[in-house]
Structure 1
Amino acid sequence: MYKNFCVAIFLTIVLLGRGIVTNAADMSLRNEENPVDNKKKKDSIPIYPDLVYEYKIAELNNLTPIELEYNDRVRRYIDVYTIERREHLAKIIGLAELYFPIFEEMLDKYQLPLELKYLAIVESALDPRAISSSAAVGLWQFKINTSKMFDLEVNSYVDERCDPYKSTEAACSYLQYLYRIYNDWQLALAAYNGGPGVVRNAIERSGGKTDFWEIQPYLPAQTNGYVPAFIAVNYVMTHYEDHNIDPVPSEFIHINVDTVKINKASTFKRISEVTKIPIETLQFLNPSYKLDYIPKMKYPATLILPEDKIRIFIRNEDAIYDESVAKKDFNEVVSEAGGTNGKIKITHEVAKGEYFHKIAIKYNCTIDDIRIWNSLPTNDLNVGQKLDVWVDPQVARAIEEERTRPKQQRDSTDRFIYYTVQNGDTVWSIAEKFNCRSISELKEENDISNENDLKPGKKLKIYLNK
């Protein structure tokens, strides 16, 4: 009797949390709602009580050997995905239709928990060309030295860290290895992010504790939030509909692409000319080819194409192969300056200390490009001046990611102080002096873009290591 009463109380809380109407009069009103009201509800952002999240994550935990638990840290990451970054999550859900079948097949081959597919969302947001600030690359974010452990080819033309198939197999092999070390999936996940040595040191500093939540204070900031983010992604990818998030369909899903093997060199430009596949599509489906060129390799190279173009490619294979890379000379580069084909326009505001070369390097273009795009007769720039800049789609995505990235989620128990900048202070010296959690956090919290922003008398908010 008592158990039934508790269940009834719980369901009441859940239903109230979801905004579900339970009496007949309200139900009849709901049936008469007009489309405008329905759209408003669809556009709303539901906020649920902790008990709802705890119950749903407990349900997910029953289906996986990876310990999934709910706490305040997990809640903050759920809010990041379902409130702060809803549009971004909608795109990720669409991309999952392309990448998750690849992940699941490989995880099954290695007999690993299928829920590990969500790790790629934490790592790269399913962007195969993602590059982190520490130079980790691809869906599974391998640094170049780690990639060598798993025989991923990285050269001037090819970066297999961006190959969805080969990088996924490497990630499965690495995860399998890390689990053998710790026999605990949460520790293995932390080690995937920070490295085995980081986790081993945290265990040592904690006095030998082997529970992730107990060694958390001894982990670097990024690794500290890694497992909570992974648990949150498990939840949001299963229950996004409860948060009124509509997936943005990917142009391609796994069942409408296929692969061909080629033994000779070719360019995306030539393949596009013969098959009528846009170069942007070839780039999207084949992110491991860095210069839109497939070199002749020791083993046959893999090319991913729309399934309905495979037959056209095979019929015209001889015409497609190209033995050399067409290299432009200086005069051709200058004559093509200001091109916008296949690029996205963004606006750059000139900051203090910026000049043409610095801006051109930042956006992977040339001074001539910038001058033509903006009809500039001279090389003079003014602080605050707005410039039109055309960038590759992946650069545009990276800029947008940086712009919308939420500030680090903080614990309510975080300790901070205020400090007044003195003569001779640098960002580095202040971080060292106060044992800050990270220099990037110090700069972000206080709107410091460069050392020139650090003037004597400026008051800084500094978060301290616990």
Structure 2
Amino acid sequence: PVARVYHYLNQAFNHLETSRKDSAAVSLDRATILLADLLTKSSSGFSGRKLSGLVWVTLELSRDLLPPTSPILPESTLHYLLTVLPDSVTSHIRQHPYYAEFWIRKLAGSADVPVDYRPEVLENIRYFLTNGRDVFKLWLSRSGVFTPLIQEALQEAGLPQDLVYKAMIESGFNPRAYSRAGAAGLWQFVSSTAPLYGLKRNFWIDERRDPEKSTHAAIRHIQHLYKLFEDWRLVIAAYNCGQGRLSRIMEKSGTRDFWELHGLPRETRNHVPRFMAALILSKDPEWFGFTDVVYRAPFSYDLVAVSEWIDLSLAAECAGASFESLKALNPELRVGYTPAPPVKRVYHLRVPAGSKERFLTNYARVPAHRKVQMVEYRVRHGDTISGIASQMQVSTRAVMDANGIHNPKRLQVGTRLKIPIRPGRQYVAKRNTLGVSPDESSHERHTYRVRKGDTLWRIAKDEGVTPDQIRTWNNITAPRHIFPGDRLVIWQPKGGNPDTPLLGNFYLVRPGDTLWEIARDFDTSVRNLKKWNGIRHASSLKAGRLILVRPLEENAAD
């Protein structure tokens, strides 16, 4: 067998000398198959050094026959040879000038999308092995969480599974990643593109950050791009710079070859080779020296249906998990609370796998005073997060978490904050100092012009006062007697922090208040107040209690 290997190698060399490359390729394939068979037989009787010499020559001849940028495909004899090399041979040829190149080409050839062996790709591989090594190691670690999820979705859609590395390059497998351009999530959707593929974004959630929803959206986007360009290199480029821009560049360049396009943005020009480099490295990270990567566990969870606001800290306690782990399972949540679902609908919260029953059992036992409701507060001049929190008698962290605030110094006048309160809790009632003649040294007066559709309730809520106060200041003797164009006097404390017991749909009972007076002030009935707040006897009303004075569903209409 060795003699035949020598014969075919010599034959391939002679064909190359006479520029008969096709004949040389046939002879080299025969030699390579025979050599690979010898290497797989442990009892061949030949020393590792002798076989290494034959492999060395085979690699030399193969280099002359391979197209410069082509990968080594799985069906090729060279791919087979590289795959079956035993350690005894590898140790001798590891320093061969073409061994590393061929191994990289072999990995490129195993991909189910085109991967080219080009200087731009090699440059990115070098970067990830040097300056970017720690970053790539982190990406590999995170890949354990999301690769199974994404590849399963790609397979169901009939797309190449190696497109999973597009998410790696886009976000480093970080669902909370944000770019300078405002793109978010694993697949880096911008706010203008996300709705086109069904991703929602509001105060409570950003579905661009949800691994499953964003992956299915990305698949639909990729399918659309492939129908347009029919080349995976161009699809990856268009995903980065936009289909319209790439189409114009292709038309101007007069080619569909990505590597020959002129005028590509620098980021896009580097994006495609970086994707290819990440794919190659991820195919065999240990070969490239990533031997100490700790891969994180796959994304796994139970779903629980909730029909009310839930503080994630409380949810984590009920599930027997940490707050951070619950946030990691629910990255679409922008604040530290679940959204209030629409009427007769639910929100599906993820809890750690195996904890569903524990969560449901524990949450059913949570007393009402530990559950939250959200009330609205409009920021005024002089307000601070800590001041608002103090006034509302909640923690500063609770206000920041409920509103996704990271920098409390960036509070803007007019912003409507959600304040998490617990209706069953006893609050310290504050005496209302704004009477008929407020102290002008501590309060300031301004005028509000009534608009069409305004009610005393809405105006009072927006201004942080009560309807009764507005009636007193403006001599309004009957409820609802306001008309568009009317100018109403409003008094507020200077420097913000209005001293008012009105908190969104809730009212903080003051000393001396009665249900009849509260019902009159808020244009409702004593019967409704009792029903909404579970009050059996009017005499049980105590100062400091937070009661509902308007149905919660009306708040959604506002």
Match of 2:338 among 272, 291, 294: 294
Number of the residue aligned with 1:364: 407
The aligned residue for residue 328 of structure 2 is 284
Secondary structure of residue in 1 paired with 2:285: helix
Residue number in structure 1 paired with 2:283: 238
| Whole-Å separation in 2 of the counterparts to 1:140 and 1:96 | 14
Deviation at 1:79, TM superposition (A): 1.4
1:54–1:69 CA contact under 8 A, matched in 2: no
Change in Cα spacing, 1:218 to 1:365, as seen in structure 2 (3 Å) is same
Distance in 2 between the 1:48 and 1:129 partners? Answer: 42
**How big is the shift at 1:268?**
0.5
Structure 2 partner of 1:406? none
Verify: 1:66 aligned to 2:113, yes or no. yes
Q: Tell me which residue corresponds to 1:160.
A: 207
Query: Displacement, 1:10?
Result: 5.6
Q: What is the distance in 2 between the residues matched to 1:50 and 1:149?
A: 50
Distance 1:22-1:101 versus aligned 2 partners, 3 A rule: closer
Matched, 1:140 2:187: yes
In the other structure, the counterpart of 2:74 is none
Deviations 1:327-386 (A, max 9, x none): 8974364799998xxx9xxxxxxxxxxxxxxxxxx972449xxxxxxxxxxxxxxxxxxx
Alignment of 1:202 onto 2:245? no
Q: In the alignment, which residue of structure 2 is the partner of 1:105?
A: 152
What does 1:36-75 align with in structure 2 at a 5 Å threshold? 51-52=98-99, 54-75=101-122
- CA displacement at 1:94 relative to structure 2: 1.9
Structure 2: how far apart are the matches of 1:98 and 1:125?
A: 12
Structure 1 distance, partners of 2:163, 2:202, is: 28
Match of 1:92 among 139, 147, 169: 139
One-letter code aligned to 1:180: K
Q: Which residue of 2 aligns with 1:305?
A: 351
Evaluate the alpha carbon distance shift between residue 248 and residue 290 of structure 1 in structure 2; reply closer, same or farther with a 3 A threshold.
Answer: farther
Contact preservation (8 Å) 1:122, 1:230? yes
Counterpart contact for 1:257–1:307, Cα < 8 Å: yes
Return 237-246 or 190-199, whichever deviates more. Answer: 237-246
- Supply the distance in 2 between the matched residues of 1:233 and 1:312 (Cα, whole angstroms): 41
1:410-450 per-residue CA deviation (whole Å, 9 max, x = no partner) reads: xxxxxxxxxxxxxxxxxxxxxxxxxxxxxxxxxxxxxxxxx
Partner of 1:411: none
Separation in structure 2 between the aligned mates of residue 315 and residue 337 of structure 1, nearest angstrom: 28
Letter in 2 for 1:8: W
Separation (CA, whole Å) in 1 of partners of 2:58 and 2:305: 56
SS at match of 1:304: strand
CA contact (8 A) 1:265 1:296 kept: yes
Instruction: Describe the SS at the equivalent of 1:242.
Output: coil
Mapped to 1, the partners of 2:332 and 2:87 lie a distance apart of: 51
Evaluate the alpha carbon distance shift between residue 48 and residue 304 of structure 1 in structure 2; reply closer, same or farther with a 3 A threshold: farther
Query: Which residue does 2:532 correspond to in 1?
Result: none
Contact 1:93 1:247 in 2 (8 A): no
Contact 2:204 2:333 in 1 (8 A): yes
- The DSSP-based 3-state class of the residue aligned with 2:149 is helix
Pairing partner for 2:198 from 133, 151, 157? 151
- Distance in 2 between the 1:139 and 1:93 partners? 14
Larger relative contact order, structure 1 or 2 (CA cutoff 8 Å, min sep 6): 1
Measure, in 1, the Cα distance between the counterparts of 2:241 and 2:100: 28
Q: In structure 1, what residue type is equivalent to 2:224?
A: Y
Aligned to 1:9: 57
| Alpha-carbon distance in structure 2 between the residues aligned to 1:233 and 1:275 | 37
Number of the residue aligned with 1:224? 269
Counterpart of 2:415?
none
Match runs of 1:47-446 below 5 Å: 51-52=98-99, 54-207=101-254, 209-215=255-261, 217-249=262-294, 252-254=297-299, 256-298=300-342, 300-319=346-365, 322=371, 324-325=373-374, 330-331=386-387, 333=389, 364-366=407-409
Q: Aligned letter for 2:282?
A: M
1:305: Cα distance to partner?
2.1
Cα 1:205/1:171, change in 2 over 3 Å: same
Contact 1:275 1:313 in 2 (8 A): yes
Contact 1:53 1:70 in 2 (8 A): no
3-state DSSP class of the match of 1:225?
Answer: helix
Inter-CA distance 54–269: structure 2 relative to 1 (3 Å threshold): same
Q: CA RMSD for the aligned pairs?
A: 3.8
Distance (Å, rounded) in 2 between the aligned partners of 1:48 and 1:310: 55
Structure 1 pair 74/49, CA: closer, same or farther in 2 (3 Å)? farther
- Equivalent AA in structure 2 for residue 79 of structure 1: R
Q: Any conservation in 2 of the 1:57–1:68 contact (CA below 8 Å)?
A: no
CA distance in 1, matches of 2:259, 2:205: 39
SS at match of 2:246: helix
Partner residue of 2:487? none
Cα offsets for 1:93-148 (capped at 9, x unmatched): 22111111110111112110000001011000011011001100000000011001
| TM-score, reference length from structure 2 | 0.51
Which runs of no fewer than 5 residues in structure 1 stay unpaired?
Answer: 28-46, 344-361, 368-466
| Bigger Rg, which one | 2
1:266 aligns to what SS in structure 2? coil
Deviation of 1:228 (Å): 0.1
Q: Secondary structure at the match of 1:130?
A: coil
CA contact (8 A) 2:59 2:99 kept: no
- Size of the aligned set, in residue pairs, is 322
Q: What's the TM-score once normalised by structure 1's chain length?
A: 0.61
1:391 aligned residue: none
Once residues 22 and 271 of structure 1 are traced to their aligned partners in structure 2, the CA distance between those partners, rounded to angstroms, is 56
Q: How far did residue 277 of structure 1 move?
A: 1.7
What is the letter of the counterpart of residue 211 of structure 1? D
Find the aligned partners of 2:115 and 2:256 in 1 and give their Cα distance: 16
Whether contact under 8 Å (2:318, 2:363) holds in the other structure is no
Alignment match, 2:552: none
In structure 1, what residue type is equivalent to 2:301?
V
Residues 259 and 98 of structure 1: is their aligned pair in 2 closer, same or farther, counting only changes over 3 Å? farther
* Contact 1:90/1:246 (<8 A) preserved: no
Identity %: 27
2-structure distance, mates of 1:21, 1:273: 52
Q: 1:23 to 1:184 in 2, by over 3 A?
A: closer
Give, in angstroms, the shift of residue 279 of structure 1: 1.2
Q: Which residue of structure 2 lines up, in the alignment, with residue 437 of structure 1?
A: none
Letter aligned with residue 364 of structure 1: N
- Maintained 8 Å contact 1:60/1:68: no
Question: Residue 128 of structure 2 contacts residue 136 of structure 2 at CA under 8 Å; is this kept in 1?
Answer: yes
Deviation of 1:195 after TM superposition, in Å, equals 0.6
Contact 1:139 1:164 (C-alpha < 8 Å) held by counterparts: yes
CA contact (8 A) 1:57 1:69 kept: no
Unaligned ranges ≥5, structure 2: 1-7, 10-27, 32-52, 64-77, 378-384, 411-558
